[in-house]
Amino acid sequence: MSISKRALVTGVSGQDGSYLAELLLQHGYDVFGLTRPGTTDHPWRIAHLADRITLIPTDLMNDESLKSVIDEVRPQEIYNLAAVTSLGAAATQPELAMALNGGGVERCLNAILSVDRSIRFCQASSAEVFGQSPEVPQRETTPLNPVGPYACAKASGHRAVIRYRTQHGGFAVSGILFNHESPRRGLEFVSRRVTDGVARIALGLSDTLTVGNLDARRDWGFAGDYVRALWLMVQQPRPDDYVIATGETRSVGELVEVACSHVGIDWRQHVRSDPSLVRPAEPTPRVGDASRARAELGWAPTVGFVQLIHMMVDADLDRLRLSPGVRSPSRGEG
């Protein structure tokens, strides 16, 4: 009988971690997830996996704690998804962002060197590392030009992976992930703020949705597709970094229109733009060239933009209908 692979996932209770845990289980892995000691850390995303994965409270800021867990679990693969995930949180806590988003990568790699150099490591990098890039679309060779605490911290982690490969010859890869969404996205992100707001309007719980710059454009994909790319990267014979993106941009205005159309309401009657929600340094057009991932990994997104937004709106409608005080909608839900 073959022995199951073991995978260790940091940030397992986040959006990406929950989808990755599902994927790994489908492939027959024993999944171990690291969670923050003393916190629940949004367990709702992995509640349906509670009896199938092993959760280990671990302080990722503590080198010895991390080494001890890796030594105990002895995984073949480590996926580092733990991070200060929002730009706003990173801006208010820049030291924490650098310590976790950048220093956390260094600690994971140092722990691997101490415990077992054969462990394969995957870092969830971010398109934010490109910052104000003059190159459009962005690809693996695009120079890093981070702007702001979140981007700088992620760039630090990205460079740590490259140094590890160069200096130690270990298997470490970075998935440069462009915006990826799902019904498990946090409400602090614009995509989920829109779908939650539209669902509330459709159910008569609200009358107005406030957003920032309707003209801001992003390359939006489905989180489930993007973690599949991370897994494929780790299965390759040699380590390399890959841009993971759809290659298409959509505006916040288009996102709003698709969401509203799905529930049969006119977005012009309900949506307001608030200048205070506009990013102070809006990046250059952010669109990724994932041709290397397509060619070498055989990866391609399976969920399109419209399907993704419909999925998110439907999930928010279902969630809100279960909440006390929700009355029947007065508008059609398309």
Give the lowest-confidence range in 22-31, 134-143, 271-280: 271-280
> Which of these, 132, 138, 166, 178, lies nearest to 152 by C-alpha position?
132
Identity of the residue numbered 326: V
**pLDDT at 69 > cutoff 50:** yes
**pLDDT at 42 > cutoff 60:** no
Give the residue numbers annotated as catalytic, written as ranges: 126, 128, 150
Residues 47 and 136 in one domain: yes
Give the lowest-confidence range in 108-112, 211-215, 289-293: 211-215
- Decide if 226 is inside a domain: yes
> Which of these, 149, 155, 106, 101, lies nearest to 127 by C-alpha position?
155
Residues 223 and 211 in one domain: no
**The tokens of 229 are what?**
């790319």
How large is the greatest C-alpha to C-alpha distance in the chain, in angstroms?
Answer: 63
Give the 3-state secondary structure of residue 290.
coil
Residues 164 and 25 in one domain: yes
Q: What is the pTM of this model?
A: 0.92
Q: Do residues 274 and 334 lie in contact, with contact meaning Cβ atoms separated by under 8 Å?
A: no
Cα 118 from Cα 76, distance rounded (Å): 7
Grade residue 334 by pLDDT with cuts at 50, 70 and 90. very low
Residues 173 and 264 in one domain: no
CB neighbourhood size of 309 (10 A): 26
Residues 45 and 94 in one domain: yes
- Decide if 295 is inside a domain: no
pLDDT tens string 127-158? 999 998 889 999 999 999 998 888 999 999 99
Domain count, the chain: 2
What confidence score (pLDDT) does residue 36 get? 82
Radius of gyration of the chain (CA): 20
Residues 175 and 52 in one domain: yes
**Per-residue pLDDT averaged across 70-76, rounded?**
97
Identity of the residue numbered 86: S
- Decide if 240 is inside a domain: yes
What confidence score (pLDDT) does residue 279 get? 57
What confidence score (pLDDT) does residue 323 get? 77
Residues 139 and 48 in one domain: yes
Letter string b/e over residues 71-81, b meaning 16 or more CB atoms within 10 A of that residue's CB = eebebbbbbbb
Identity of the residue numbered 63: D
Residues 123 and 192 in one domain: no
- Decide if 1 is inside a domain: no
Residues 102 and 157 in one domain: yes
- Decide if 332 is inside a domain: no
- Decide if 294 is inside a domain: no
**pLDDT at 254 > cutoff 50:** yes
What confidence score (pLDDT) does residue 91 get? 66
Residues 192 and 313 in one domain: yes
Give the 3-state secondary structure of residue 152.
helix
**Per-residue pLDDT averaged across 180-198, rounded?**
95
Residues 174 and 265 in one domain: no
**200 HSE (CA, 13 A, CB side):** 14
Identity of the residue numbered 187: L
- Decide if 296 is inside a domain: no
What confidence score (pLDDT) does residue 68 get? 96
Residues 190 and 145 in one domain: no
Host domain of residue 265: 186-218+249-285+304-321
Q: Do residues 94 and 147 lie in contact, with contact meaning Cβ atoms separated by under 8 Å?
A: no
